[in-house]
Amino acid sequence: MLSETSIVFEPDDKFNAFLTVCNRATHTGGKLAGVAVAIKDNISTRGIETTCASRILKGYVPPYDAHAVDLLRHAGAAIVGKTNMDEFGMGTTTENSAFGTTLNPHDTGRVPGGSSGGSAAAIAGGMVRMALGTDTGGSIRCPAAFCGIVGLKPSYGRVSRYGLIAYANSLEQIGPMGKTVSDVSTLMQVIAGYDCHDSTSHNKPYTHIPRADINGLKIGIPQEYFGAGVDPAVAAVVQSAIGRLEELGATTVPCSIPSMKYALAAYYVTCTCEASSNLARFDGVRYGPSADTKKPWHEAYQEVRRAGFGAEVRRRIMLGTFALSSGYYGKYYAKAQVARENVRKDFRRIFADVDVIAGPTMPTIAFRLGEKSDPLSMYLADILTVPANLADIPAISVPCGKAGGMPVGLQIMGRHFEDERVIDVAYAYEQAVV
């Protein structure tokens, strides 16, 4: 048994990055001995309140650790707190938190991105060096891009989802976020690997050390990532970053992902359907605010769920319920699965010819607070990140400059289980510009 010691953690949290702070965080020895790590609030932490930024889980203290958290503790990490997020991961700004929005450390009039906005702001604001986020349709990469940090959505199946409070199981992964590519790689070494508690887990540990050599690498540049809807100023910054990769010995070839036309609709149908099933468990009986046990169950559950869920969560549960209801399943869910398979096929075709695909992480810089008030316009912002989730492939966002004074992220996507390669490309870029 390793001896336990503790660190004092008292951050000046001007950005509302944390929902829970552990002022005295214990840790053991190991690869991450004494390193302060923040955890997104939808990842279970034994003995530390875990709310998913929702009133319906206020006061819930998990009796067990998520597998990724267990691995972090065994590596000596000090779990210093739980970070703010869009409620249950549903959002692109962190404004959908029931406990107030997180602010972007680069400009407090702007959002940090979401849904892992608290983790990104905690890193960008200098409070921690690394954090865990989760990525269902871009929730690690978007805030990484908006806050000027590094974030990896691992290949589906590489990091256990055990203890991640589920929103859309077939799409989401826990992943590392950090100040640098090396930090992200180190965190990935700790959290990746097989776990018998997650039936979609693969035996693919990650033992890689980043290498900056990309000589001879072939990069696909999809036209859809530089087309309509992408801010030309953002596109220009990313183009110049790709030019830098060419100077380092990589070659680029144009490519096309025609299935992207359907990707966003396929993503939102799939995630709302999965959410409608997953979130049925929040009824105030086993955890959360109590249901009135004297009332009939429908009435009692409706009361708890109306008071406990925010508007976006209720909207997505209802959309999913509708899309799965009798007579509509074929029109929505079944079609979405066809569209998803087409996205996978497009990536397989492109990856037969190229090693990685590069483009912007987000089509714009961080939005102003309150700018995206209507749900559909918020959904459209996810267009460049959802394809990787639909195809199960790894994707990283690495800072590549600024537009309008705000950080821009370069996104690198790779073949399924080639997380090492996207890490290397991001590392090569980062080392070339420091």
Partner 1 sequence: MVSEKDVQHIAELADIGISSGELGTFTHQFNEILEYFDTLDTVKGDAAATRDLYNVMREDETEPSLPQEEVLRNAAAQEDGFIKAPRVM
Contact set for partner 1, span 415-434 (CB under 8 A)? none
The CB-of-250 to partner 1 minimum distance in angstroms stands at 30
Among positions 340-359, residues that touch partner 1 (CB under 8 A) are 340-342, 344-345
Q: Which is nearer to partner 1, 9 or 262 (CB)?
A: 262
User: How far is C-alpha 70 from the geometric centre of its chain's CA atoms?
Assistant: 19
Looking at the Cβ atoms of 323 and 366, the one nearer to partner 1 is 323
Stretch that binds partner 1, among 210-218, 229-237, 280-288, 360-368 (CB under 8 A): 280-288
Instruction: Sketch the per residue contact string, 173 through 202, with partner 1: x for CB under 8 A, - otherwise.
Output: -----------------------x--xx-x
Interatomic CA distance for residues 4 and 341, integer angstroms? 48
Extract the tokens encoding 309: 């869920």
Active site residue 182: no
Minimum distance from residue 266 beta carbon to partner 1 (Å): 7
> What span, in angstroms and rounded, lies between the C-alpha atoms of 365 and 145?
8
131: its two tokens: 């954090």
Count Cα atoms within 13 angstroms, Cβ side, for 140: 32
List Cβ neighbours of 191 (8 Å cut-off, separation of 6 or more): 68, 71, 72, 132, 159, 160, 174, 176
* Total residue length of the chain: 434
Q: Is 115 an active-site residue?
A: yes
Subset of 296-325 contacting partner 1 (CB under 8 A): 296-303, 305-307, 309, 311, 314-315, 317-319, 321-323, 325
- By beta-carbon proximity to partner 1, the closer residue of 254 and 294 is 294
Based on CB atoms, which residue is closest to partner 1, 181 or 391?
Answer: 391
Q: Determine the interface stretch with partner 1 among 2-10, 135-143, 176-184, 283-291 (rule: CB under 8 A).
A: 283-291
Among 14, 211, 261, 368, binds partner 1 (CB under 8 A): 261
Contact pick of 14, 24, 211, 331 for partner 1 (by CB under 8 A): 331
With CB under 8 A as the contact rule, which of the stretches 4-12, 130-138, 372-380, 405-413 interacts with partner 1?
Answer: 372-380
Strands 218-222 and 356-360: parallel
Give the torsion sign (CA, 383, 389, 394, 399).
Answer: positive
25 and 79 in contact (C-beta within 8 Å)? yes
Q: Give yes or no for residue 393 binding partner 1 (CB under 8 A).
A: no
Q: Tell me the CA distances in angstroms from 6 to 33, 43, 54, one per residue in order.
A: 10, 22, 29
Contact with partner 1 (CB under 8 A) among 7, 20, 33, 64: 64
Residues 92-131 that bind partner 1 (CB under 8 A): none
Sign of the Cα torsion 188, 189, 192, 196 reads negative
326 belongs to the catalytic site: no
Cβ distance to partner 1 smaller for residue 192 or 241: 192
Q: Which of 312, 360, 356, 357 has the alpha carbon at shortest distance from 146?
A: 360
For partner 1, the closer CB: 218 or 295: 295
Alpha-carbon distance of 213 to 158, in angstroms, equals: 24
**Using CB under 8 A, which of 7, 33, 61, 166 touches partner 1?**
61
Do residues 89 and 78 lie in contact, with contact meaning Cβ atoms separated by under 8 Å?
Answer: no
424: Cβ contacts below 8 Å, ≥ 6 apart: 210, 211, 212, 213, 214
| Residue span binding partner 1 (CB under 8 A) among the ranges 31-39, 122-130, 174-182, 371-379 | 371-379
- With H, G, I as helix, E, B as strand and everything else as coil, classify residue 222: strand
Binding window for partner 1 (CB under 8 A); candidates: 5-13, 69-77, 220-228, 264-272: 264-272
Q: Single out the residue of 24, 290, 368, 433 in contact with partner 1 (rule: CB under 8 A).
A: 290
Q: Give the residue with the Cβ less far from partner 1, 48 or 291.
A: 291
Active-site residues, by number, are: 40, 115, 139
